């Protein structure tokens, strides 16, 4: 089971002549990053809300909005009339005293702090129960969306790893051709500078074997195949949080692919390495969004 970090959930419930609405959006992040916007009357419930999000979403950038909407579907707010009058009296007095032309005095006042507040009272016990149920429903929608997105990502990852394995199988015939080509090239180069009768065949064979050992890719192929198998094994287990482990395996796959490229000395092998690197980059892009 794979979970995506990108998801969305929304839930609401009626409270008399208004609606309580909870909206949760999540994006990818290395850690849990919570951002909560809610009416001040619900500040006493913020700790509970944070705990619920942390326990159930574990990781990601989480933007949560809690709001009350009236029957028309808009947020309900009220202007603090006493504070408005106080701001106006003080600002008007200063502009008159200092002979300042202030045509947009109203616009300045409405931007003053704590002038507009949510027109809501604290929740009753019954409303608190409703609030917690709405939060739970929104979180369930987020988790459901995470699973759906995770399934799509898993299928893509399996496809990319399978593609790397297919390219790896194609390495063998080119590797055998490469050995023959290297031996012929070394022999030809020697004959260009030395007569054939001056070449020590035993020494030549030793040098060829030494060179071929340096560029041998047998171990890299074995390790890359093992990494691909292990990647699929981890991908298929029931652990929810596996993004970091898969990233580490992907890094190991990258090291082996890079070494294959460094030792290739063959145009055909280099083409296969490029294709494997392309698949690996696609894997990294998908893993950036995995829990």
Run of H or E including 21: strand 18-27
Same domain for 232 and 111? no
CA atoms within 13 A on the CB side of 248: 5
For residues 53 and 142, state if they share a domain.
yes
Residue 30 lies in a domain: yes
2, part of any domain: no
- For the record, the structure tokens of 46 come out as 């913020």
Assess whether 21 and 62 both reside in one domain: yes
Total number of domains in the chain = 3
Do 153 and 283 lie in a common domain? yes
Residue 160 lies in a domain: yes
Specify the pLDDT at position 132.
93
Q: Is 14 helix (H, G, I), strand (E, B) or coil?
A: strand
Predicted confidence at residue 49, as pLDDT, reads 94
Cα distances (angstroms) measured from residue 3 to each of 124, 148, 209, 290: 36, 8, 49, 6
67 and 88 both lie in a single domain: no
Give the number of other CB atoms < 10 A from CB of residue 116: 15
- On whether residue 233 sits in a domain, the answer given is yes
Contacts of 64 (CB under 8 A, 6+ apart): 22, 23, 24, 25, 34, 35, 36, 37, 38, 49, 53
β pairing state of 60-70 and 32-37: parallel
- 89 and 137 in a single domain? The answer is no
Residue 1 in any domain: the answer is no
User: To which residue do tokens 């699973």 refer?
Assistant: 147
86 within domain boundaries: yes
pLDDT at 187: 64
pLDDT at residue 185 in the model: 66
Could you tell me if residue 49 is inside a domain? yes
Domain contains 193: yes
> Which regions in the chain score pLDDT beneath 50?
73
Residue 136 and residue 11 share a domain: yes
Same domain, 162 and 210: yes
* Residue of 4, 36, 41, 5 lying closest to 22 (CA atoms): 36
* 90 and 20 in a common domain: no
Please give the distance of CA 184 from its chain centroid, rounded to a whole number. Answer: 49
pLDDT of the residue at 261:
87
The whole-number pLDDT of residue 229 equals 96
Q: Which pLDDT belongs to residue 76? A: 55
CA distances from 258 to 51, 168, 226, 284 (A): 44, 13, 16, 15
pLDDT at 124: 81
81 with 65, same domain: the answer is no
Q: Are 146 and 7 in contact (CB under 8 A)?
A: yes
Q: What is the pLDDT of residue 250?
A: 95
Residue 123 token pair: 């929740």
Considering the domain architecture, whether residues 216 and 135 belong to the same structural domain is answered as no
95, 105 contact by CB (below 8 A): yes
Query: Token digits for 182?
Result: 């290297």
Residues with Cβ within 8 Å of 67's Cβ and at least 6 positions away in sequence, in order, are 20, 21, 23, 37, 38, 39, 75
What is the model's pLDDT at position 190?
A: 61
Query: 154 with 235: CB under 8 angstroms?
Result: yes
Q: Are residues 162 and 216 in the same domain?
A: yes
Residue 171: which domain range? 148-287
**CA 99 and chain centroid, separation:** 57
- The three-state secondary structure class of 145 is helix
Q: What's the confidence (pLDDT) of residue 54?
A: 93
């Amino acid at each position: 089971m794979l979970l995506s970090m990108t998801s969305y959930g929304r839930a609401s419930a009626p409270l008399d002549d208004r609606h309580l609405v909870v909206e949760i959006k999540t994006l990818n992040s290395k850690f849990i990053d919570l951002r909560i916007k809610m009416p001040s009357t619900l500040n006493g419930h913020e700790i509970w809300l944070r705990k619920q999000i942390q326990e159930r979403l574990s990781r990601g950038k989480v933007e949560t909005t809690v709001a009350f909407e009236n029957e028309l579907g808009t947020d309900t707010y009220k202007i603090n009339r006493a504070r408005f009058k106080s701001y106006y009296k003080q600002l008007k007095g200063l502009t008159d005293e200092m002979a300042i032309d202030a045509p947009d005095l109203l616009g300045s006042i409405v931007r003053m702090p704590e002038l507009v507040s949510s027109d809501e009272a604290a929740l009753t016990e019954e409303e608190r129960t409703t609030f917690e149920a709405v939060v739970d429903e929104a979180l369930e929608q987020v988790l459901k969306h995470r699973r759906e997105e995770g399934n799509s990502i898993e299928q893509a990852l399996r496809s990319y790893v399978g593609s790397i394995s297919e390219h790896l199988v194609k390495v063998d015939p080119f590797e055998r051709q490469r050995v023959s080509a290297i031996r012929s090239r070394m022999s030809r180069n020697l004959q260009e500078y030395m007569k054939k009768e001056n070449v020590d065949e035993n020494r030549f064979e030793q040098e060829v074997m030494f060179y071929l050992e340096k560029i041998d890719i047998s171990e890299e192929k074995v390790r890359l195949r093992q990494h691909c198998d292990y990647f699929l094994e981890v991908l298929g287990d029931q652990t929810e949080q596996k993004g970091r482990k898969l990233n580490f395996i992907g890094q190991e796959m990258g090291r082996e692919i890079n070494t294959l490229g460094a030792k290739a000395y063959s145009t055909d092998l280099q083409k296969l390495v490029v294709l494997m690197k392309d698949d690996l980059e696609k894997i990294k892009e998908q893993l950036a969004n995995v829990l």
